[in-house]
Structure 1
């Protein structure tokens, strides 16, 4: 009896594994939207930090980051061109988040967001390969297109 229930549980998990990955994709998108909103609220601080420390255009970089987080986060949440939304995020996380947060803090220290950035980078890489999934606008559009082609 115990073997049957374990096998049944395994089958249920395998059949519904896309729920977990889809929930993770939606959560990742919401985190990016939140971070984009945070950057909008603190845009002057970002300008000041970039102008002070680097020879880069603070206006261009900060607006790219804000737009990429907000638009890319929405794309990831709804599954609209998810791989493009993820691809736009990866340079921000690699260059911006890991380089800027890693320079002043210690690894697993109280003032660093390096672990958070590495986790976000790992999730972005997963969804770069995985794509949108079943709960996405892309899947609905492609499924509709396939059913139209078959008729």
Structure 2
């Protein structure tokens, strides 16, 4: 049965088994390789995407379940929070190996969209499902604080 999948503002007709993990549809069928495979059991966060505006693990979400939702991947995440997060990531030199970073960024953007002034505890809670093998957690937290301040300043000048 073909599924209609809305990804990054485009609708795709996907002729795959409905139980196929969305991660593999994104990477193998749609060739959106920014979303990474880490653990396959929704524990590491490398495969985080936005589904109807919420961060979700694409490795544990089936094509059938995702059909009908609005999906955004790292390739198309945008808006003031996304711009602020990207700038802060560069400023703080967050990535070391970079493998987990697309998932980290997607989670950080979702956090800032729901909480424009997160505390350390808010950040730790929101990011707790994202594992960084290089342990750049302090830089990630600092970058999220920077991004929050930048997003707030942009909103005041707009």
The two structures have a TM-score, normalised by structure 1, of 0.29
Per residue, is there more helix in 1 or in 2? 1
The two structures have a TM-score, normalised by structure 2, of 0.29
